[in-house]
Chains A and B, each alone.
Chain A
Amino acid sequence: MPNYRPQTIHYEAAGSRREFLARAGGGFGALALQQLLLQDGAVAADKPAGSPLSAKVGQYLAAAKNCIFLFMDGGPSHIDTFDPKPKVNEFAGKPLPDSVERVITPMGVSNNPLLISPRKWTRYGESGIPVSDWYPHVGECIDDIAVIRSCWANGLNHVGSVCQMNTGSILAGRPSLGAWVTYGLGSENENLPSFVVLLDNEKEPPGGSRVWGTGFMPATYQGTRFRNGKSPILHLASPATIGKQQQRSKLDFLDRLNRRHLDERGADSQLEARIASYELAFRMQSHAPEAVDLGQETAETQELYGLNDDHTKAFGKNCLLARRLVERGVRFIQLYSGSGSKWDAHSKIEQNHTKYCGSTDRPIAGLLKDLKRRGLLESTLVIWGGEFGRTAMSEKGDGRDHNPYGFTMWMAGGGVQGGQIIGATDDFGLHAVEDRAHVHDLHATILELMGLDHTELIYEHQGRPERATVNEGEVIGDVFG
């Protein structure tokens, strides 16, 4: 007799109404399904209205409700910003001492002479953590920041590394962290996407939109790239040839067609959900433009984010927009600086980083200060970093190659104990040597800060219980306050 008994049941065909609703809910365009669930008896009537996925929340009482991830696309040099290395200047013009383990780098700089770092370092705040003269305004906020100097990753090139920093794997196909958070926590605002991506120029980061995609998860959880202008979401606005009343009237007619169709067929949650999706689409048309209207902000606030300066305007606008989205319940906001690998200083790092640190320094400091004074920093996790750091070894005489073996990320707000340094790289900033923090560890920590246990946040796929941390990763305990 063949054995038909499953050892465990992880995968159920989506057939039930409840399951369908859960699948439709939680992410961008998620429907107001509480009502439907109530009808379904799936939710107790006295339970407060919320996302159908809220049941999954509550593994931890989390400080962070929202997350703003500042992604320096192309790889910022940690040894020139947050991880001073006097030995690099001592050995400038000479190769690494033999005692340092050699690594593969994309441009093969392993034995190249080291490039001097002409940065001036200042110790800021009560913690006295050094920050270079490329980030003076961020330096002023250092007591809110935990600097993790011992990050490491597996990718060598941009696309794999950006992919890993977002999805955990250097190979494409897995959901991004924002998608996992949306999956785990649902949305607090049904009229806006719960995962928003903002770019500072028209170029997308390596890998394109799949960097904020859902891989094997339903599209419900995907990030939505906000575009410039009044209509931030694709197809949000009706074309100019359609009047507002005309559109409303068309929607009403459509609704009549759909309700008649539904009546003839009896209860069908799919059909009901699709009817609701049109109403939601209509509501978004008014909510999203309001959210992106920076004209509602005072001149003082605009200046705080650097909107008055051409160098800082683009990223500053996105930082300010991020704060507005946090206020409106958007869960996960990812901001790309130098989108399209513009931080990638293989040559002329002096010019490159002067420009890109300069364009982000005031906006980031403005964001941290503004969140703080509004009481939002406690509930908003802010993360800074890139897909990797850069080598002490020189490339082309004035640049630095990729370094995934040791680099810096920092976190602030949202339950993070600021004013501390975690981990260390070696004397040359090449290898993370103390309290090494792999990307999976960073992801585990971010999820934990948001109240999600990375070992329990599971999505069943192809017979495999999938986790954001690819079944690895440990929470970096020191981050927590």
Chain B
Amino acid sequence: MKLPGRRQFHSWTSLTRICEIGLSLLLALTFGSPAAAESGPDQDTPTAGFSEEETSYWAFQPVTRPAVPQPADSAQVHNPIDSFILERLHEKGIGLAPAATRREFIRRATFDLWGLPPNPADIESFVNDASPAAHENLIDRLLDSPRYGERWGRYWLDVVRFSETAGFNADPLRPLAYKYRDYVIRSFNDDTPYDRFVQEQLAGDELFPADEDALIATGFNRLWPDESNASNIELARQSMLNDMTATVGAVFLGLSMGCAECHDHKFDPIRQKDFYRLQAFFAPMIPVESAEIGEQESLDAFRGQLAEWEREIDPLRKELWEIELAARKQVTRIKRKKFPNVVLEAIDTPPWQRTAHQHQLAFWSERQIEFKEKQILKKLDEAQQARRTDLKTQIATFKENKPKPPLQLASMVTADGFPVPPTSLLAGGSYNKPIEAVTPGYPAILQPDCVESPAPIDAPRPGTSGRRTTLAKWITQPDNPLTARVMVNRIWQGHFGRGIVANANDFGTQTQPPSHPQLLDWLATEFVKSGWSVKDMHRLIMTSASYRQSSRDVAAESVERDPQNQWYSRFPRRRLDAEAIRDSLLAVSGELNLKMYGPGVKPQLPPNFSAREGWKPSKVPAERNRRSVYILAKRNMPYPLMQVFDFPDTHESCARRQETTIAPQALALLNSELVLGLAEKFTAKLFQSQAEFDIEQLIRQAYREALGRDPNAAEVAVSSEFIETQSELIARRRGGGQPSRFPQDLPAVVDPAWAGALVDFCHALLNCNEFIYLD
């Protein structure tokens, strides 16, 4: 798929073989569906080359507002979601499970919205809340907290493959990338309407020039992996564009556009040309590290003054450029050899005269031929040196009067350059095999009558190409059949662990059809109606009876008739994800630092983990205990404790986390000094809260903190028996002169072996299934 000039599938025959699809599909693809063939060719008349099966595919149909079903037994209905869910359950002769207990519910809701365990005081106050609106109030309180954006922002960061490094060999830091992460967290906390959120990321620079956050948002267009020493610059540029195209398709439209890079999509009605037509929206994009921010008028004024100013210094800087150019060519003679002429021409053109394409070529090449000021000087004769000094002095004088923008912001962003470079359909996806020029456009299957036509580009203001704006506006049109469906499905998936459409990044034919198509559409219309409010969607879903169901109190016939829980006859039990596990460990042990925002932090690595990465733990120890969303997202080295719990690879969009159960996870939680250290802190925290050192009280408090509930009598007995046994074992070791561990600053009255046994008890709680799985 990615490689130039190679064969694609061997043949259709082997394609069907590899895909384990039957002959019927082959026939269907070749001759239309068997049913259509039977009823005569006339009914199978393709629309603009698409079959009826393709044009009638559910995901491409307009979203309509389905009528809410009226289930016979409406006692279980809290809101319309339940009506849709119950309709299917009643077909199976079953209903929803009874409501979860309040204790279960607050744990579920807090992890769901915050990724953190509720603290014992909050649990008690919710459990005892007599208000009929207790659940609603809880949900509102959770949504109002900044912890919410740190949780749900992270889901979005998975989808956009966020990373703070560029990847490839050097994996260099992108020091400003964190601003995009912070923007995402802020946007979720502010409940930025989703349509605006999409527009800001794709085209914030064009649409909202006065909004600092909208500019930072365009960091979305910069998240692609980037080879810092790429030799083949044209290929590097094309790889970036391909990555953007595939990502935009998956993220906003739920379409596997990437499958159409080298050929027409093998399964969905997406043509190779559609891939490049979508790509064309990004053709003029120039990566920049700073943005000018201000109202249109003041920006226009600034740009006018700047042009004027530049005209004045033009002869000076031109002369300076020319004097230096020859010297620079000499100094970088060897480094230049790797680049073809088109690249060298780009870097030899003064930056203020470069075309967009030259800017792009220069972005990948200029950084590879850096040189020092001193080297240049050596290559200049005395006269040139003198003239150079003179020119620089003159320019410096002018610089004092250089017009300033209303606000200049350092961030990883995008701008458009001119003239817009052409985009071509590429043979087999090879960057150097253009077949025909294409103009920006949406996938033909989504256009009126499925007829491919160019997108009407409308530049919102001077200095913009308007291409990304046009795309963003089209994506966020309320009648786009995919945008709202795709996003409500992501939200649903966040709450239930799986989407109504199983693959949140692919609404195409390779994904099972939606389990509840009408519910999906009802939610999508509700989403748009609410002004694209994500928080409203949370409220809607979380106040449903379907969400409030127990995962434990399940009728036998529900297990029998809905064995996979595909119809939501109970709440699905879920393992916490990597962030929630680490953040819970920190929270329960009292070590979590809730400071928000800023460059990625570096917690400790396991000993001798990787000599290569130069990962020095953050200097201030408290910084190492920040929430996991703030850990430096390094492409070539995901943080080990996170990686082992299925933190995704950041090279491509992740629709949904894997959920593996493997021994290295057990080893990490059992044997890492980090987790043991937290068990010690947890023990110390218990000692502080229970000054009597009463074993039963300590056990109770530990259960409340770690598991959100009181232990029963049997559990207290088993725990205290364990602590006693363990205490003897440790005492024996200590007697033999072997080391043991216990909290620092242990009160003098406490026996270290007994304290050590409590550490082991706390450590076991942090390892147990009840801590890691959510009912």
Contacts and interface: CB of A to CB of B under 8 A. Distances in A.
Nearest to B510: A463
B17 to A, nearest CB: 6
A270 interface: yes
Interface stretch (A80-88, A99-107, A291-299, A317-325): A99-107
A464 B651 contact: no
B636 interface: yes
Interface string B576-589: 00000000000000
B43 interface: no
A71 B765 CA distance: 44
A399 B662 CA distance: 46
A1 interface: yes
Contacts of B612: 202-204, 208, 340
Interface string B227-265: 101111000000100000000001000001011000000
Contacts of B661: 24, 31, 270, 273-274, 277
Contact of A209 (B10, B167, B610, B763): B610
A6 B513 contact: yes
Interface stretch (B388-396, B447-455, B497-505): B497-505
Contacts of A43: none
B566 to A, nearest CB: 6
Interface in A220-256: 220, 224, 227, 233-243, 245-247, 249-251, 253-254, 256
Nearest to B767: A254
A83 to B, nearest CB: 24
B512 interface: yes
A23 B18 CA distance: 20
B769 A463 contact: no
A458 B20 contact: yes
Contacts of B530: none
Contacts of A274: 575, 661, 666, 769, 772-773
Contacts of A440: 6
B8 A234 contact: no
B663 interface: yes
The secondary-structure label for the interface of chain A is: loop
A249 B660 CA distance: 26
Interface in A236-288: 236-243, 245-247, 249-251, 253-254, 256-258, 260-262, 264-266, 268, 270-271, 273-275, 277-278, 280-281, 284
B383 interface: no
A306 interface: no
Interface residues of B, number: 127
A54 interface: no
A2 B61 CA distance: 7
A169 interface: yes
B18 A246 contact: no
B660 A24 contact: yes
Given A169-B3, A243-B733, A213 B606 contact: no
B510 A28 contact: no
Nearest to A458: B18
Interface stretch (B123-131, B466-474, B637-645): B637-645
Most interface-central of A7, A204, A270 (chain B CB within 10 A):
A7
Nearest to A470: B1
A337 to B, nearest CB: 16
B673 interface: yes
A464 B510 contact: yes
B21 A249 contact: no
Interface in B1-53: 1-4, 6-10, 14, 17-21, 25, 28-29, 53
B368 to A, nearest CB: 10
B729 A281 contact: no
A10 B718 contact: no
Nearest to B670: A281
B525 interface: no
Contacts of A463: 256, 259, 267-268, 503, 506, 508-511
Contacts of A260: 715
Contact of A29 (B336, B664, B730): B664
A465 B509 contact: no
A154 B554 CA distance: 56
B1 A15 contact: no
Contacts of A240: 739
Nearest to A268: B573
Given A219-B660, A235-B671, A472 B6 contact: yes
Nearest to A109: B337
Most interface-central of A438, A458, A472 (chain B CB within 10 A):
A472
Nearest to A190: B663
Nearest to A231: B671
Contacts of A156: 231-232
Given A1-B56, A220-B662, A463-B506, A208 B613 contact: yes
Interface in B406-438: none
A27 B644 CA distance: 13
A227 B608 contact: yes
A108 interface: yes
A5 B636 contact: no
A352 interface: no
B726 interface: yes
Contact of B502 (A1, A13, A247, A472): A13
A15 B566 contact: yes
A377 B636 CA distance: 35
Contacts of A438: 6
Interface string A453-472: 00110101011110100111
B667 A281 contact: yes
Contacts of B227: 157, 159-160
Contacts of A27: 662
B503 A11 contact: yes
B635 interface: yes
Contact of A277 (B17, B20, B340, B663): B663
B415 to A, nearest CB: 26
A463 B511 CA distance: 6
B55 to A, nearest CB: 9
B477 interface: no
Interface string A189-233: 000000000000011101111100101101110001001000001
Given A169-B3, A234-B606, A268-B573, A246 B769 contact: no
Given A219-B646, A242-B741, A278 B666 contact: yes
Contacts of B506: 11, 462-463
A9 B512 contact: yes
Interface string A137-158: 0000000000000000010111
B649 interface: yes
A410 B775 CA distance: 54
B517 interface: yes
A7 B53 contact: yes
A36 B498 CA distance: 24
A153 B565 CA distance: 47
B121 interface: no
15 contacts: A3-B53, A8-B19, A108-B334, A156-B232, A206-B168, A208-B171, A218-B658, A235-B606, A235-B672, A243-B738, A250-B764, A260-B715, A456-B17, A456-B18, A463-B511
Interface of B: 1-4, 6-10, 14, 17-21, 25, 28-29, 53, 56-58, 61, 167-169, 171, 225, 227, 229-232, 239, 250, 256, 258-259, 267-268, 334, 336-340, 498, 502-503, 505-506, 508-514, 517, 551-552, 554, 559, 563-566, 573, 575, 606, 608-613, 635-637, 640, 643-644, 646, 649, 651-652, 655, 658-668, 670-673, 676, 715, 718, 722, 725-726, 729-730, 733, 738-741, 760-761, 763-765, 767-770, 772-773, 775
List the 6 closest pairs (A to B, CB-CB), nearest first: A108-B337, A29-B663, A463-B510, A159-B169, A29-B662, A173-B651
Interface of A: 1-16, 23-24, 27-31, 104-109, 154, 156-160, 169-173, 202-204, 206-210, 213, 215-216, 218-220, 224, 227, 233-243, 245-247, 249-251, 253-254, 256-258, 260-262, 264-266, 268, 270-271, 273-275, 277-278, 280-281, 284, 340, 438, 440, 455-456, 458, 460, 462-465, 467, 470-472
